[in-house]
Structure 1
Amino acid sequence: MTKRKLTRLLLNQLTASACLLCFFGFPALATQLSFNQQNQKLHYVWSDAEQTRHQITVDISQTQFTLTTFQRYSPKLMQQALQQQAMQWFQQQKKTDVLLKRERIGLNYELQITGPDPKQVREITNALRQQQNQAYQDYLTQHHFQIFKNFSNQWAVKPNHTAIALLSQADVAPFVNAFKPLVADKTEAEGIELLLSFIQSIPYSALGADKTQRGTGFSPPAQLLINNQGDCDSKVTLMASAMMQLYPNRETIMVIVPGHALIGIDLPQQGNQKILTVQGRDYVLAEPTGPANLLLGKVDNGSAVAIAQQQMRVEKFIKPASAQ
């Protein structure tokens, strides 16, 4: 498929962002004992799989947040923004002998160039298409989206999880600083497992869900921590972003299976921990979603079946240059 055809397909056919619907039943629930926010401090109390009580206080009073909200992908809003940019671009060309019209074709509006000279119309039309292609790519980047093929082999749009995890480093720093004393005397695996239990204990929320549709939203790490709720891909992104600072020598991946997401960490396998080998590197899998206290290397049955059947996509979280 050519870039032009792909862009046109995305502009005209996408009706919703890709959503990761994390509706898995877990028998044993993670426990957040309390959460409160006061004077720009976030106070969390939770228990891990061994029912050991932990607590941290995160001071966000000095933090200049980069990304605290995330707007759901809307093809209609995206198309309106791109067409407005295209009209501004056309006005800058100062072509008095051709016209730019916004015409309704089916359920969509498209821009059409008209004029007396067919050659000039073709030239301006091609230039406009190039401008729209670039504007579309810029729109995805600026709003932290990326295109991908979903499990139905259809083009869709989803949050760019790896870019968001990297962009959120400063946002997550207050949490990481508060968490470091808790893992100072622990092995790497023990510390990661404690981080996992904390994220599992955060209340699950199918973001954007109502009585008629399941969640189609996403919370970047700062928003998840402040609102104290999140869904599967939001929690995986938070854990990956925190791992970049807590354990910068460890690589992490997001494993997307139908309706769900989990994380992989390049730790040495211990016992019968579930691992996934990607490009010759072994990653121990984990389920940050909760509410189960699933230990490091333990995954939900649905995740295990999907992975065994190769119904998955893998995305590598890119670490900051200073950590590489």
Structure 2
Amino acid sequence: MTSSDMAIHMSPHTSSCASSRSSAVLRAVLLCLAWFAQPVAGNEQGAEVDEDRSAVAASADTTAQNRYWGQPTTDGRYRVSTRFRNFDGQTIALGFDLATAESRRSLSEFGVDDRELDALMRLCRQAMACDQATYDGYTTRYYREHALRLTADPGRASRLSVDVPAVVLRNRSRVRPLTDALRRAAAERGQNGDWMIKTAMTLVQTALPYKKPVAQLEGRSLLGFYPPAFALERGYGDCDTKSALLAAMLLDLGERRVVGLHVPGHYLLGLDRRPEADEAFITHQGRPFVLVEAAGPAMRGLGDVSMRTRGALARNDGLRVDPMF
């Protein structure tokens, strides 16, 4: 189980809200749904980080010079500055302001809050008939609206995981202060879209520190994941958080077709382009997608993935493609 994956144990009992017994059943169901208070076990995402020691060692001098810092302003914004080196060895300094309200909105529309589930239970109790199926319908819709996938396998506990494409598409416009700063930097240097894409990759890989997001914040379960706008404010993330941030940036920069790729214990991206020699890629809908690492801290170019990821691709082991277009 990765940090963005949790089990839910649902009560199979059905009843009507017309009796006091049914109210007790619904309270029991809600307690069963209090999965978000449990710690996550078996987190494997960190296994990908620092795996390729030669790549990390080669980038040690570069990453040591990279910085990402921010502070709130008096007008409700969050001012970020970052300094890093790109693949061409250029030192890039960017500054941009985030709207704190947008960052908070990105958080409120993601994850699970027990107070919101309480409100769903009250809403269900007010209905003419409120059995288990009705309540399950409320909660399933709630998960979908909060960018979560509910997977139910026969004979096993249902599982919640992050719907990364939904999060990316909701946050594409919210990362625009950063992508606008990248556009200005490219214009100043007379550079094109490929330069911006590769510079965005190095920013997320090396300037934004690798750190696992918290499981809960202010009563909301986040499944160990930050939406892109909130990740920019917090200033760190792990592989799926960084991948979602980079995907939102690439889409806003004009990259038309991006996919997410889940391999066991790790998450990365794919870009719709013809692979060069030795670049790792997958084929989706008959088109090649060159793979892109976002986790860092090593600086990895297009198609440069770890041996662990290459092994999963060769075995076709637990792969899932998430189209983001």
- Report the alpha carbon displacement of residue 23 of structure 1 after superposing the two structures with TM: 2.6
Tell me, yes or no, if the aligned pair for 2:213 and 2:238 is still in contact at 8 Å.
yes
Q: Tell me the secondary structure at the aligned position of residue 259 of structure 2.
A: strand
Alignment match, 1:322: none
CA distance in 2, matches of 1:62, 1:77: 23
Q: Is 2:263–2:312's contact at 8 Å kept on the other side of the alignment?
A: yes
Does the 8 A contact of 2:270 with 2:290 survive in 1? yes
Q: Which of 181, 186, 193 is the aligned partner of 2:191?
A: 186
Q: Secondary structure at the match of 1:67?
A: helix
Tell me which residue corresponds to 2:237: 230
1:15, 1:134 → 2: CA distance? 18
Q: Give the aligned partner of residue 112 of structure 1.
A: none
Aligned residue number for residue 69 of structure 2? 36
List per-residue Cα deviations over 1:257-289 (Å, max 9, x = no partner). Answer: 111100000022122211100120110001011
Deviations 1:69-117 (A, max 9, x none): 676558x77865543332232xxx3xxxxxxxxxxxxxxxxxxxxxxxx
Q: Aligned equivalents of 1:52 and 1:316: distance in 2?
A: 32
Q: Is the 8 A contact 1:252 1:265 kept in 2?
A: yes
Q: How big is the shift at 1:62?
A: 8.7
Aligned CA distance change for structure 1 residues 281 and 176 (closer, same or farther; 3 Å): same
Find the counterpart in structure 1 of residue 6 from structure 2.
none
Q: Which residue of 1 aligns with 2:165?
A: 162
**CA distances 1:35-59 after superposition (whole Å, capped 9, x unpaired):** 3324332110011245421111012
Does residue 251 of structure 1 match 2:223? no
Residues 79 and 181 of structure 1, relative CA distance in 2, 3 Å threshold: closer
Give, in whole Å, the separation in 1 of the partners of 2:303 and 2:286: 18
Identity of paired residues, percent?
A: 23
Partner of 1:260: 266
**1:33/1:277 CA distance change after superposition, 3 Å:** same
Greater C-alpha radius of gyration: 1
Q: Which residue of 2 aligns with 1:139?
A: 142
- Report matched runs for 1:1-324 at 5 Å: 15=35, 21-24=45-48, 25=50, 26-27=52-53, 28=56, 29=59, 31=63, 33-38=66-71, 39=73, 40-60=78-98, 64-65=102-103, 66-68=105-107, 73=112, 80=118, 82-89=120-127, 93=128, 124=129, 128-148=131-151, 155-184=158-187, 185-201=190-206, 202-208=208-214, 216-248=223-255, 250-311=256-317, 312-318=319-325
Q: Does the aligned pair in 1 maintain the 2:211–2:236 contact within 8 Å?
A: yes
- Contact 1:69 1:220 (8 Å CA) reproduced: no
RMSD: 3.3
When residues 140 and 20 of structure 1 are mapped into structure 2, their CA distance, relative to the original with a 3 A threshold, is farther
Figure out how many residues of one structure are paired with residues of the other and give that number. Answer: 270
The change in CA–CA distance for 1:128 and 1:68 in structure 2 (over 3 A counts) is closer
Distance 1:234 1:20, change over 3 A: farther
Q: 1:64 to 1:258 in 2, by over 3 A?
A: closer
- Code of the residue aligned with 2:233 in structure 1: it is I
Please state how far the C-alpha of 1:208 moved relative to its aligned partner.
2.8
- Secondary structure of residue in 1 paired with 2:123: helix
- Answer yes or no: is the 8 Å Cα contact 2:173–2:252 preserved in 1: no
Q: For the residues of structure 2 that align with 1:227 and 1:154, how far apart are their CA atoms?
A: 32
2:33 and 2:97 mapped to 1: Cα distance?
44
Specify the alignment match of 2:5 in structure 1: none
Change (3 A) 1:209 1:292: farther
- State how far apart, in whole Å, the 1-side matches of 2:282 and 2:150 are: 24
Q: Is the contact between residue 205 and residue 297 of structure 2 (CA under 8 Å) also seen in structure 1?
A: yes
CA distance in 1, matches of 2:115, 2:97: 36
C-alpha distance in structure 2 between counterparts of 1:149 and 1:86, whole Å: 22
Change over 3 Å in CA distance of 1:258–1:220 after alignment to 2: same
Per-residue CA distance 1:101-137 (angstroms, 9 max, x = gap)? xxxxxxxxxxxxxxxxxxxxxxx4xx63442132022
Unmatched segments (≥5 aa) in structure 2:
1-8, 13-28, 217-221
1:266 and 1:281 in contact (8 A); partners too: yes
TM superposition score normalised by structure 1: 0.72
